[in-house]
Amino acid sequence: MFMEESGWLTRSNERTVWFYPPGLEATGMVISGFSTRIGGVSGGPYSSLNQGLHVGDVTELVLKNRGILAEAAGLPPGSQVVPAQVHGDRVHLAEWSDAGAGARDLESSISDCDALITREPGLPLVTHHADCVALLILDPLKKAVGIAHAGWKGTRLRIGEKTVRAMGEAFGTRPEDCRVAISPSIGPCCYEVDAPLIEQFTAAFPYHSELLTPRPGQKAHLDLWEANRRPLIEIGVRDQNVFTSRLCTCCSPDYFYSYRREPGGVTGRMAAFIMLRPG
Ligand SMILES: [Zn+2]
15 alpha carbon – ligand 1 mean position (Å):
26
Mean pLDDT (the chain, rounded): 96
122 alpha carbon – ligand 1 mean position (Å):
34
222 alpha carbon – ligand 1 mean position (Å):
11
251 alpha carbon – ligand 1 mean position (Å):
4
Q: What is the pTM of this model?
A: 0.97
Question: Measured between alpha carbons, how far is 109 from 31 in angstroms, rounded to an integer?
Answer: 21
pLDDT band at residue 4 under the 50/70/90 scheme: low
Q: Would you say residue 279 has pLDDT above 80?
A: no
Using one digit for the tens of pLDDT, what is the confidence trace for 121-180? Answer: 999 999 999 999 999 999 999 999 999 999 999 999 999 999 999 999 999 999 999 999
178 alpha carbon – ligand 1 mean position (Å):
28
Domain ranges of the chain: 9-186+242-276
CATH classification code of 9-186+242-276: 3.60.140.10
